[in-house]
Amino acid sequence: MADVVDIDRMGIWDKRDDMLVHQEEPYNAETPPGALAAPITSLDAFYCRNHAPIPRIDSASWRLRVEGLVDRPLELSMDDLRRFTERTVVATLQCAGNRRADLMEVRDIPGQVPWGPGAVSTARWSGVSLADVLAEAGVRPQAAHIAFTGADVSQQADPPQPFGGSIPMTKAASGEVLLAWAMNDQALPAAHGAPLRVVVPGWIGARSVKWLERIGAQAEPTGNHFQTEYSVLPPEADPEAVGPGDGITLGPVAIHCAILRPGGNERVAAGPTEVSGFAFAGENRTVARVDVSADHGSTWTHADLDPPESPWTWQHWRTVLTLPPGETELVARAWDSTAAVQAESPVTVWNPRGYANNAAAHVRLTCRP
C-alpha cells in the first residue's frame, strides 16, 4: 500500500492562489472563473479532485500491471510504456459533481463537496493509447469491461479501498483513451496522477483514474466503491441504503454550458454587452447550438461558437445582448448533436449525491443605466 506524502502542501499542489479550495486534505479545488475562458487550462489553474491523500510513488520501481482476461499479463515500467507510439489528445475533464452547489440550493446534500461551475478544465494529454497496451496483452473476447485501480487508498470507502473505476471495452478500444504521463507538454504533476493516469475523453472525470497501478480486463464493470458511488439515484433514495444496481452509473458527460462573462458580481452598463461562456458535449457528441436569453426565455439569441481544439473539448461561445438597466437574469442553454438540451432548472435533475447537474446556466446582475 502506498503511504502519504508529508512535505509542504503548496509544494505538492502547485496551484494559483485564487483556486477555490473546498478541502485541503484531501485537496479539492476548482478552477477560478477567469481561467475557464482559456481554451487550454494552465497546470496551476486546472481543477483538482481527490478522495484520499496523494500517494507517494517511486517512478523508478513503479510498474503497471495489466491482467485479468488477457492472453499475456504484462508488468510495464515507464520505459516499457515509452516504447509504444506516443499520442496526444486535447481533452476536457469534468467532474460529475460540477455545479453541485446549485443542486444544494434546491435541497441539501450532506457530506459532499459544494462544487461551483469550475470543476472542469482542459489539457493537452500525452502518453500511449490504452488500446495499444490492451492489444499487446491480448484481451480475450469475454472481456467486456476494463477496470482501473489507483495507488491512493480512500477512507471514504468502508473498508478503505484504492480509488478505481471501469469503462466498457468498446470505449477502452477507441484510440482516444490515453495512459498519460504528460499534461500541456510537461511531466504529469503529482497532483494529477504521476507517473501515469488514465484519460477517458468525454466521460466523467471519475473514470480517468490517477496514480494508475493496475488495468484489469473483466466480464463485468468493476466492483470498486467509486464505480457505483458515481451514479445518479432517484430523488427519494437514501444514498446510505442503496445497492450497486440502484442508480444510473455515470459515463459520458451530458451536454452542459456555463456563462463566464459578465460574472454575477461584475459592474455592467445597460446596452449592448458581450456575453460569453463555454459549452461541453460528452462522448462522441458535439455542441450543436447555444441559446442565450436576457428576458427569461421570451427571446433567445444563438451564440457564435469557437471551433473546438479537438472533438473532445469544450467550445467557447460569445454573443452580444442588449441588457436593460436594473436587474436582469442571463440564461444560457446548449444543445448537442443528438438534439438533447439542458434541463431548464436544477429542480429537474436533483439527485441524492448531487451528480450530473447539467441544468441551464443562470447569472443575475444589475446593470447601470
Nearest to 302 by CA among 321, 327, 285, 280: 321
The reply to whether 64 sits near ligand MTE by the rule CB under 6 A is no
Distances (CA, A) of 129 to 24, 136, 173, 284: 33, 11, 9, 17
b/e code 123-154 from CB counts within 10 Å (16+ = b): bbbbbbbbbebbebbebeeebbbbbbbbbbbb
Does the footprint of ligand MTE cover residue 145 (CB under 6 A)?
no
- For ligand MTE, give the closer residue by CB, 123 or 255: 123
Q: Judged by CB under 5 A, does residue 356 bind Mo ion? A: no
CB atoms within 10 A of CB 227: 22
State in angstroms the smallest separation of the CB of 27 from ligand MTE. 9
- Residue 291 near which of ligand MTE, Mo ion, none (CB within 5-8 Å, type-dependent): none
199 binds Mo ion (CB under 5 A): no
Among 22, 49, 207, 285, binds Mo ion (CB under 5 A): 49
Interacting residue with ligand MTE among 102, 152, 176, 229 (CB under 6 A): 152
211 binds ligand MTE (CB under 6 A): yes
Q: Which stretch binds ligand MTE (CB under 6 A): 64-72, 105-113, 171-179, 207-215?
A: 207-215
> Which residues inside 68-97 make contact with Mo ion, applying CB under 5 A?
95
Is residue 51 part of the contact set for ligand MTE (CB under 6 A)?
A: yes
Phi, psi of 275 (to 5 degrees): -115, 130
200 belongs to the binding site for Mo ion (CB under 5 A): no
d(CA 365, CA 267): 8
Smallest separation, CB 94 to Mo ion (Å): 8
49 is a contact residue toward ligand MTE (CB under 6 A): yes
- Residues 131/172, Cβ–Cβ less than 8 Å: yes
Is position 192 an interface residue for ligand MTE (rule: CB under 6 A)?
Answer: yes
Choices 81-89, 128-136, 208-216, 339-347; region in contact with ligand MTE by CB under 6 A: 208-216
Q: Which of 41, 50, 218, 313 binds ligand MTE (CB under 6 A)?
A: 50
Cell triple for 152: 491512493
Contact track, Mo ion, 282-321, x by CB under 5 A? ----------------------------------------
Instruction: Write the CA distances from 202 to 43, 76, 210, 282, integer angstroms.
Output: 20, 27, 16, 4
CA-to-CA distance for 360 and 335, rounded, in angstroms? 10
CA dihedral 173, 177, 180, 184 (to 10 degrees): 150
What is the b/e burial string over 186-201, where b = at least 16 CB atoms within 10 angstroms of the residue's CB?
A: eebbbbbbbbbbbbbb
Residue 213 contacts which entry, ligand MTE, Mo ion, none (Cβ below 5-8 A, type-dependent): none
* Residue whose cell numbers read 476548482: 30
Residue 150, contacted partner among ligand MTE, Mo ion, none, CB below 5-8 A by kind: ligand MTE
Per rule CB under 6 A, is residue 163 in the interface with ligand MTE? Answer: yes
Question: Judged by CB under 5 A, does residue 100 bind Mo ion?
Answer: no
Count of residues that bind ligand MTE according to CB under 6 A: 18
Stretch of residues binding ligand MTE (CB under 6 A), selected from 17-25, 205-213, 322-330, 359-367 = 205-213
Residue nearest to Mo ion (CB): 95
Beta carbon of residue 95, minimum distance to Mo ion (angstroms, whole number)? 3
User: Quick one: 124 or 192, whose CB is closer to ligand MTE?
Assistant: 192
Q: Should residue 53 be labelled a site residue for Mo ion when binding is judged by CB under 5 A?
A: no
Sites of contact with ligand MTE (CB under 6 A): 46-51, 93, 95, 150, 152, 163, 192, 205-206, 208-211
Sites of contact with Mo ion (CB under 5 A): 49, 95, 205-206
